[in-house]
Structure 1
Amino acid sequence: MTHHPASAGPRADDGPRSPRGAAKGLARIFDGVGGPFLGLVALVVIMAIFAPNFARPVNLINILDQVTVLGILALGATAVIITGGIDLSVGAVFALSVMVLGWLSHDGGLPLWIAMIACVAAGGLAGLVNGLAVTITRLPPFIATLAMMSVARGLANMTTDGRQITGYPEWFYSLASTRYGGFLSITLMALIVLYVIGWAILRYRASGRSVYAVGGNPEVARLAGIKVKAVTTWVYVVAGLMAGLAAIVLASRLDSSQPSAGEGLELDVIAAVVIGGASLSGGVGRITGTIVGVLIVGVMHNGLNLLGVSPFLQQVIIGVVIAAAVFTDVFRRRKERSA
């Protein structure tokens, strides 16, 4: 009789219905995102206990609506941060895009669908300038996007001399207001589709792997045949395009375009990506982590508002959370190097 060693097949206690098998399944699902996900669960439980009306279905739907803009912006910022860059202009480019949309459709007399295309194109153009400033002129991403932040914010105000634009067609407003299945709007569905596409590209496409390679070590990536400058430029272009799409979502939600839109939003965007596990040093980040980070920021803002916490104190809290997330990443990297 042939003897089969115990290690020759799957162990009985590793089956999908065993505790160990279930734990391994969860580990695969939340690989690299387990910490932020547990943090989200804990935050939701705390807010449900202490924040009035937090757990009501209408408020939970409201949170999803509120994070749609942040989620789209954070999607673009994830790719930028994975390459080791940073985009401080995202809020200002977002404002410029939304004002291009309003100005062309109202003052310019163009059909709204053309204005929507121009809105996204404006964001992409600003992103292209950011990318070329980083790759061609070799400006540090911090300086390049800081300059763009000032330029884009100024152009957003110059478009209408600081005047907001209101009154979009009913069909446009319904993109964010009409719900299917009780909670899904067109804008929320667009967010989900964008994240699925982003996740698939970063996980399965060569272009996605190139983003990680550039963030891990640009010189090694160059020697491996990756066009580092092209990859770096394109991630900033994508971030700009996401700002344009987010501008359409905001205009649909508010039925208006405001030059002050997105002020301070870059802090929330960076917070969402970093809380989700991305490293500001580059080479590390996940779309699933960004989703969790976006929800954490959204739940935090919503819960703190329900608790009556001052918006100024909320900024302090977000800053502390960013610092804690970065410290955790630095500590983890030091631990890995010393292992």
Structure 2
Amino acid sequence: MTSSSAVLLVGIDEAGYGPVLGPLVATAMAFEAPAELVDASLWDVLRRSVSERVSTRDRRVAIVDSKKLHRGDDGLAHLERSALAAIAAFSSPPASLRGLLHLLAPHVLGMLAEYPWYREADPALPLAADADAARLAGECLARDAAVHGVRLAGLWSEPLPEGHYNRLVGRTRNKAVVLLGQTLRLVQRVAEAFPDRTIHYLIDKQGGRGHYREALMRAFEGRTVQVVNECDQTSVYVLHGAAPPWSFTFAAQGESRHLPVALASILSKYQREVFMNAFNSFWRRHAPQVAPTAGYYVDGQRFLRDADEAIRRLGVDRALLVRSR
């Protein structure tokens, strides 16, 4: 395969849309692949190195919806192994939270100083997985991909810490608009990294939205938007313009239908879990009697009740702590 005949298959998905605590994270990951693989199942193409099942006995990389990976007592280890294996197929695995952000979202590092629980946080990685096993699985994935003319070409993230999220929701009055904004920033970052490449974006449908034409027209004014299909399950568009064409497929349950979307889901969920590790470590020091939280609504409200005295004592601005919607 020559670079001129290659296309990009880009998966985009989020984690943390529903919680009241912790960041909202969206991630894009790109495979460079021969054009003839655009409609192929990468689970089938890469079956020697990836699996759609979660098993401690399977050395392949489990690439499934992150909610299926992050279950039970070993959930974090499974999630982390898949995330770090994917990173190892692209780059050197990061040694800490800040190393992870430097790789995926360097622009976010400057935001963390606003947050007492993130300001000095830099938990070592991995948190639960075996580092060598993840690295070896990633190397196997890279070799298997190369046999088929495929390579993991890029990883990008847009983590949105709580206070920054609240400011954007305050301006837009709609968290779905905030998530779409994160997604379009990722689209732009991918396009800037590969300006001369035909790009196929595979994106999990967001918040029940079925129509994306107007948003795409506003975001990319220099291109014309062709509507290929809009229905409950899938919305498809092609953008034409000065550069090679881009296609967008917004798919319901995209993480179950497209491997790149599932992998983006895993990387988003993993980053959120590392952030929540830092969050819970901070509160463990200042309110040791309060049980840690995953940040979702019911348990998040429990945490806020239990930690109320410490929150007041530390003078924490709740606009930095609690997400507004």
- Structure with greater strand share of residues: 2
TM-score for both structures, normalised by structure 2: 0.23
Over alpha carbons, which structure has the higher Rg? 1
TM-score by length of 1: 0.23
